[in-house]
Structure formats: C-alpha cells, structure tokens
Amino acid sequence: MSIRLFVDFDGTITRGDVGNLFFRTFGGAACDELVRRFRAGEITARECFLGEAEAMGRVSSGALEELVDAQEIDPSFRDLVAFCRDREVDLLIVSDGLDYYIRRILGRHGCGEVPFVSNVATLVRPGGDGRIEVSVAFPHADAQCERCACCKRNIMLTSSAEEDIIAYVGEGYSDRCPVRYADIVFAKDVLQTYCQDENISYYPYETFDDVVVRLRRLLERTRLRPRARAAVERRAAFRHES
Ligand SMILES: [Mg+2]
C-alpha cells in the first residue's frame, strides 16, 4: 500500500489564481464574461480557454514573463516536496491551468523536478515584432465531461493502482470533482464548503506544513483504509469507461 498525493496548482501551490490573472490582465473584461458563462454552464471549459486566448490577442512576451515571474508560491510547498521524496510518496500536480506558467513558476522556485499534468499552452510568434499569441490545447480532456478542460479524475485513476490510497490537496472549483474519488482530502477555502455540503470528510489545512504533519501521522499507521464512498465512485468511473 502506498499513498499517492495529487495537488492542485492555482490557489493551492500559488497564492492566487495565476490562470485567471494571466488571461484577465491581457484579455480584459471579455475574459471575466467568459468565466461567468462557464460557471453558469453556458459554455464548456475548453470554449472558455479558447475564447480567453483569443481575447488576449498579441501580447509582448516580456510582459507575459514579468506577470508570471511576479507570482509567489506557498514556501511550505518545498517542504512537502522534500517530505514526499524522503517517504517515497508519489507526488503529482494536477491542474486545469496552463503548462507555460506552471513550468516557469515551479522552476523559479526550485521545484522544477516536480511532475505535473495540465493543459498545454504554446506561444506562437506570428510576426517578427517579439509579440506572441497563446495557443491552447487540451490533451487530458475527458471524452464525455466538459466541466474541466484537463480531467483530474482520469489522471488520478489512471496513475493509481487499486490498492493505492489516493490523497488530494486543493481549494477551489476544479477540485470539486477529484475530491469525490480521493480517500484522503485536504481542503481549504471554498473547497471546504463543498466537502461539507457533499458530506466528504476532509482535513482542513492552511499551509503544506499542516499536510505534512497529517501525512506523517497517517504513514505511522499499519494500515490505511480507502474511503468507502470514494472506492465506490472509482469503481463506477471505471465501469463507465470500459
Ligand atoms: Mg485551484
């Protein structure tokens, strides 16, 4: 038995929602409207991303880099990375954001070796003026569900063995689906309210130090049980896919 740990990126590892800031800074109010329509269920997550990338238009690559490089991470994330390495806990970041800024932010903060799965952004230079366009792609979209562009549930299930205990750390909208399939949930901010409403047991946390303390205690146990409802949900998801 081993614990596999999945961690959200925006608002969980970073202080704020970088994806949102990224598009809003360059795409303006059009991006707010796209997000509103997405939250209202009027457009899919992929349509929202494509619209936001279009609203951005051409931007200076320097301004893009400056924005991304101003983003801070929770410094305790590095302690979680070290803990997972020492205790052989598999850590994977799962994000419905873009690889461009995730890679850059992790690298800048000494966490460039931590694996992640996300949507893909390609910076295209259509002219010779140093301005770029962002082209987005969704290699991890689910065939049926359109609520997220990158399906965290599928990533969790395909990268875990049946006997693994799945732990998840998150805070917001894109974490609502994956926590239903996780045995151990760490929640802060609005994800706590969601877990309460859905009767999903969770550990509240403020920083990754809280997560490390809890994981250390859990690993002292001789046996960890899967969360019964999560196990049922996982089996149902596999039946649905096969
Ligand atoms: Mg988030």
* Confidence (pLDDT) at 129: 81
- The predicted pLDDT at position 99 comes to 98
Q: Where are the beta strands (DSSP E) in 106-183?
A: 116-124, 131-137, 165-170
Protein residues near ligand 1, an ion, with CB under 5 A: 8, 10-11, 172
Distance from residue 107's CA to the centre of ligand 1 (Å):
19
d(CA 214, CA 137): 36
Give all domains of the chain, ordered by start, each with its CATH number. 3-15+73-241 (3.40.50.1000)
Asked whether 168 and 142 are in contact (CB, 8 A), the reply is: no
Instruction: Give the pLDDT confidence of 146-176 residue by residue, as tens digits.
Output: 999 999 999 999 999 999 999 999 999 999 9
CA dist 180 and 86 (Å) reads: 28
Cα(161) to centroid of ligand 1, in Å? Answer: 25
Task: For residue 57, give every residue at least 6 positions away whose Cβ sits within 8 Å of its Cβ, in sequence order, or none.
Answer: 26, 27, 133
The CA 98 to ligand 1 mean position distance, Å, reads 12
Q: What pLDDT was estimated at residue 128? A: 75
- Tell me the per-residue pLDDT of 210-239, one tens digit each, with 9 for 90 and over: 999 999 999 999 899 999 999 999 999 988
Distance 96 CA to ligand 1 centre (A): 8
Check: CB of residue 39 under 8 Å from CB of residue 147.
no
pLDDT mean across residues, the chain: 95
Average pLDDT over residues 110-123: 97
Tell me the CA–centroid distance for residue 101 and ligand 1, in Å. Answer: 14
- Give the three-class secondary structure for 86: helix
- Return all residues near 190 (Cβ < 8 A) that are at least 6 apart: 171, 172, 173
Would you state the pLDDT for residue 125?
86
* Residue located via tokens 């047991």: 201
Compute φ and ψ for 79, nearest 5 degrees.
-70, -35
Of the chain, the percentage scoring pLDDT greater than 70 comes to 99
In DSSP terms, which residues pair with 93 in a beta bridge?
Answer: 7, 116
Q: Is residue 66 within 8 Å of 60, Cβ to Cβ? A: no
User: Residue 50 — pLDDT band, cuts 50, 70, 90?
Assistant: very high
